[in-house]
Structure 1
Amino acid sequence: PDLDAGVAWYGLPPLEYLDPAKIKAPIQAHWATQDAFFALEHVEELEAKLKTGGVDVEFHRYLAHHAFANETAVGPDRITRTQFDPVWAQLAWDRTLTFFGRTLWRRS
């Protein structure tokens, strides 16, 4: 209840514990469509639950793998099923900063 805005990258909360009625801040989220850790169908369920609950949500999807914005997720030493993608990472960061500027600027 004390947040003015929130941005999520990659992970998902357990949907059975999520109460959209308690979320008052606008939310933006970034998802990889090829994420081997968090299935896209669960992202769809989360988005539907939040929207049905009246939460102001903005979801973005990228043709990428998990950790697409993690610059250390490159090369043979990276965690399996992760892959940094600089193009998608830049777009996601641009969207995140624009979102915070848009949502937080109006509150000050």
Structure 2
Amino acid sequence: MPELALSDWDVVGVVRMLSWAATGLGLGLWLWSWFGEKDAIRRLRFSDCGVVIVFAATLLRIVIQDRAMTAIDWALALLSPLFILAALWRLSRTSRPWSG
């Protein structure tokens, strides 16, 4: 049985699959924040985690694409970091104080 070398793996295909899996996870967190969580702060934190994961996966797909960027791609490339930073800032503001 022949051994698989690293060159046998389609790295871009694996990364694309992982980015879609991350998008599904982020959408699942969004749905959980809307329909499953009752506490307002936890709902906000689940939503922010979903925002970070979805927009990071979107940026990853933009980076690995092999076609020319469209206007939507440019808009997402410019707005995604802003949404990610805003969600991370809000996550830092709603975390528990460090008791160390």
Whether TM-score is above 0.5 comes out as no
Between structures 1 and 2, the one with greater strand share:
1
Between structures 1 and 2, the one with greater helix share:
2
TM-score by length of structure 2 reads 0.38
